[in-house]
Amino acid sequence: MWLTSSTLWLLLLATQCLAKSSSSQESFSAKNEAEVVFEKNTNSELLWAPYRSNCYFGIRPRYVDATPFIFGLMWFDTTQFDSMTKLRHFVSDEDNLERFTWEVYDPRVGGKENIIDPENNLNLTIYFAKTHDDQNWVVRVSGKPLDPSLNTTTSVIVYMNQNVGGDLKGPSRLVYMDNDADENTFTFTGVSEELGKYEVLVNDNYGTYYHNETLGSVEAVPGCDASRSAHVGLTIPDHEVWRARDIFQSLLTDSIKDVVTQLGENIESGLVPSILTLRNIHNFEEGNFHYIQKTFDLHEEKGFEFDVVYNNLESEQTIESGKEATKLINDAINEVNVRFDNHFDIENLGSDDKREFAIEVFSNLLGGIGYFHGTQVIDRETILDEDQFESIKFEHYKEEGPYSLFTSVPSRGFFPRGFYWDEGFHLLQIMEYDYDLAFQIAVSWFRLIDEDGWVAREVILGPEARSKVPAEFTIQSPQVANPPTLLLALSEMLTKLIENSDTLGTPHAAIDSDVEDGISAALGTNFEYIIKYSKVIYPKLQQHFQWFMDTQRGQLEEYMEDMEDDVTFSQVHQDYVFKWLGRTVTHCLPSGLDDYPRAQPPDVAELNVDTLAWVSMMSRSMKNIAHILELEADEAKYAEIEKKTVENMDLLHWSEKAHAYCDVTLDDEGDEEMMLVCHEGYISLLPFALKMMPSDSPRLKDVLKLMSDPEKLFSAYGLRSLSKQDPYFGAGENYWRGKVWLNINYLCLDAIKHYFPEVIEGSQQSSQLGDREASKIAQKLYSQLRENLVNNVYNNWKDTNYVYENYDPITGRGTGSVQFTGWTSLIVNILRRQAL
């Protein structure tokens, strides 16, 4: 991977968070001063951020679970009665926004998010910045009309809640303080058992509230007046706060009905913005939940701007003025720009557009980082067998937890939750920029490994996360795996660690430079320190590895009688064959390559080459960890597993006819003989992409030819997921049946560099294969593939403002979820490497 050696120990070091369990606590009973300072700084720096990934903008604190302070924004145009259908809150592709993007962002300091909403005639910019002690923050909301001549209004709703936790009579509260001086300024005082005492100030910087010169007053009925800010306080149960949009719409609908009752249906059109202003029609007693609605006139191009300031009253660095807020915002934006340029030399390409593209894509990956807390729906009883092939029904489920997860998400609009196989790719990107942040995320995932070694393929915690998931996908099963990409990232880091073990005693310059950037420095590295933290994570990973082996193990018994005289088959290591448990006739969701064609009809005896490749990668990772911990017996054990799985890939899954790796199944139409099922595409490449092929394997050349063939996988936009010659190409659901995906393309590029280091200009190393023709193919493929990927993702962004889940192999057009800044953000790593 394109990782620096200083990332290696950091992920291991992060396992300090596992010390929350009693067994782990013993390992950390003797923390030195540097460790304590590091933990304190990290928890402080990452306490506050827009961690509600599914909202266009929503804040909650990290690891504050009982009594967090929750904040969110909504907006809509109030000039028409049907405007509520355009109320924005949760990110949705159906909102048809022209743009929603973090232009610059770092969860440690803040950033700038821009949203262009044509249906609401609004160009909205949201700034977020924190004080240097990380305890206080400001949100600045700035809006302008896209077209001032349209005579629209924008109603922005701020909502906030102080959760009370389990004790409804506890001290946690959020109280509105009357302000007679300015009806549009609001002050709240709050107390959280976990956060302490704080104050929230909502204050206008500029803007004209709604008015209508043809009317003497725009107050429709008492309390319905868009010419001033509206406030409604009430009590909402903690677990229902995420429904802020639904509750707002319900209350506003009741208010509208009451207005119609009083005024009749022939209402002056100039009163509509006021009628769409929230009021306390039900006379709720003020509680911990508060709506503030501000309706601005968008006749003038200048628009409006207001600040929301949160100050912890025990902090010495409170935000006391708009000027201080402005300085914090400017400093945050400048700091993120400097940090990005220090880590990614995009500007060396001589293109400002490419740099803007890169920092936006990367900022949106960081902007998708969220903190989730709640229960998970799990079925531990349903057994998967041959009946699963028609359909899988998990009917014996229940909620477990609560659990917590700190993670980035693939896409805020369509996938705002934790995905196990996506997260490893996210980490490969984040590690390049902020090692500490990456290991915090990784450790949060490691914490979820249960006593059996299982972690869910999708982590969907609490009702807010579940609201974005189709019911059939919410239930998780301990029998169903996913590609273990977290161990992929760890494996690459540990490989680098072994290669650079002689430098472990000295601090890394990259770490020291973070001090100059205003970001807390990571702990200095030494071999003993790495061992200390590796010992904490090691048992968890052992359990996870064994769980994967046990649940996804295949069987050779069905082939024995037919293949007993086959010399090659007799060399197969029978205990090291694997399949994806949980596939159906049409889908193999556990593989991550959902509708990628597999053997038809499915059979319990099916063996999948990609499962085997992932197990092989896991064994290599475990071998490297055992080596660092000087656990010689374990190192030898995992080395033996790695050796046998690598050998099985060639013995069992290589097709001499197709010159590719293929799945294995029984030929039901014949005499139930073993047959190779070859659908050339990503599964054919995974042994290569995961670097599990021997470095001198003559089959490397065949893999290169497959990737380079324009009639099969190579395209002007990247490697197709399925060969253009395959009968399933572009058929059916057409998800992994030809589309270009950045994650596998990234792995393939890196593998080319691994096997053929001469592809990098100035490299002093060359391929162990010693095949000049293969080397030439590799060099041409590496250069063209990288250029094609960069140009296509960049051109789509230039045309549409977005990056996508995948790309059409014929036209290059982005398809799938928009603003998919999960693994598609790996394009920044690829783009950066062009400059080297």
DSSP string across 510-577: HHHHHHHTTSPPPPPP-HHHHHHHHHHHHHHHHHHHHHHHHHTB---HHHHHHHTT-HHHHTS-TT--
Is residue 729, in this structure, part of any structural domain at all? no
Q: Express each pLDDT in 430-488 by its tens digit.
A: 988 887 788 789 889 989 999 999 999 999 999 999 999 988 789 999 999 999 999 88
> What is the DSSP code string of 751-768?
HHHHH-GGGSTT-S---S
Residue 353 lies in a domain: no
Please state, in angstroms and rounded to a whole number, the distance separating the CA atoms of residues 117 and 803: 18
Looking at the domain assignment, is residue 686 inside a domain?
no
Do 572 and 505 fall within a single domain?
A: no
Show which of 292, 313, 335 is a domain's final residue: 335
Q: Which of 32-41, 62-71, 142-151, 826-835 has the lowest mean pLDDT?
A: 32-41
Tens of pLDDT, residues 75-101: 999 998 888 999 999 999 999 999 999
Flag whether pLDDT at 511 surpasses 60.
no
What local confidence, expressed as pLDDT, does residue 662 receive?
Answer: 98
Which of 324-344 are b and which e, b meaning 16 or more Cβ less than 10 Å from the residue's Cβ?
ebbebbeebbebbbebbeebb
Flag whether pLDDT at 521 surpasses 90. no
Judge whether 23 lies within some domain: yes
Structure tokens at 477: 């099963």
DSSP one-letter code for 714: -
Task: Determine the pLDDT at residue 362.
Answer: 97
Please report the pLDDT score of residue 513 as a whole number.
34
Sheet holding 304-312, edge to edge: 99-106, 110-117, 122-130, 137-145, 304-312, 196-206, 186-192, 173-177
Residue 502 sits in a domain whose CATH number is: 1.50.10.10
**In a domain? residue 348:** no
pLDDT at residue 2 tops 50 = no
For residue 323, CA distances in Å to 4, 85, 111, 326, 327 come to 39, 37, 17, 5, 6
What torsion, rounded to 10 degrees, do the Cα atoms 674, 620, 659, 732 define?
Answer: 70
Residues 746-765: tens digit of each pLDDT: 999 999 999 999 999 888 88
How far is Cα 706 from Cα 643, in angstroms, rounded to an integer? 25
Dihedral sign, Cα of residue 7, residue 9, residue 10, residue 11: positive
Residues labelled catalytic: 594, 805
Residues 380 and 439 in one domain: yes
* Contact call for residues 441 and 427 (beta carbons, < 8 A): yes
Contact 136, 309 (CB under 8 A): yes
Mean pLDDT, residues 154-179: 90
pTM, whole model, 2 decimals?
0.92
Q: Which of 556, 721, 560, 582 is nearest to 648 (CA)?
A: 556
Q: What is the pLDDT of residue 26?
A: 38
Other beta carbons within 10 Å of 187: 15
- When pLDDT is averaged across residues 820-833 and rounded to a whole number, the result is 90
Asked if residue 415 has pLDDT above 70, the reply is yes
Say if residues 680 and 727 touch (Cβ distance below 8 Å).
Answer: no
Same-domain pairing of 505 and 620: no
Q: Is residue 315 part of a domain?
A: yes
Omega before 402 within 30 of 0, i.e. cis: yes
Question: Does residue 201 share a domain with residue 330?
Answer: yes
Judge if 206 and 244 occupy the same domain. yes
Burial status of residue 439 (CB atoms within 10 A of its CB: 0-12, 13-18, 19 or more)? buried
Q: What's the full length of the chain, in residues?
A: 836
Domain count, the chain: 4
Same domain, 256 and 193: yes
Q: Quote the CA–CA distance of 722 and 591 in Å, as a whole number.
A: 15
Shared-domain flag, residues 14 and 137: no
Domain identity same for 86 and 194: yes
In this structure, the answer to whether residues 102 and 236 fall within a common structural domain is: yes
Residues 144, 150: Cα–Cα separation, whole Å: 12
**pLDDT tens across 525-563, in order?**
445 555 666 778 889 999 999 999 999 999 998 888 888
Q: Is residue 778 part of a domain?
A: yes
**Residue 104 vs residue 355, higher pLDDT:** 104
| Residues 457 and 421: beta-carbon distance below 8 Å | yes
- The reply to whether 291 and 201 lie within a common domain is yes
- Asked if residue 184 belongs to a domain, the reply is yes
Mean pLDDT of 686-694: 97
**CATH number of the domain that 241 lies in?**
2.70.98.110
Clarify whether residues 255 and 268 are in a common domain. Answer: yes
Beta bridge partners of 198: 190, 312
Q: What is the mean pLDDT of the chain?
A: 88
Amino acid at 386: E
Measured distance between the N- and C-terminal CA atoms of the chain, rounded to whole angstroms: 15
Residue 343: per-residue pLDDT = 87
Residue 281 pLDDT greater than 60, yes or no:
yes
The reported pLDDT for the residue numbered 387 is 67
Same domain, 331 and 403: no
Range of the domain at 383: 1-50+368-530
pLDDT at 114 over 70: yes
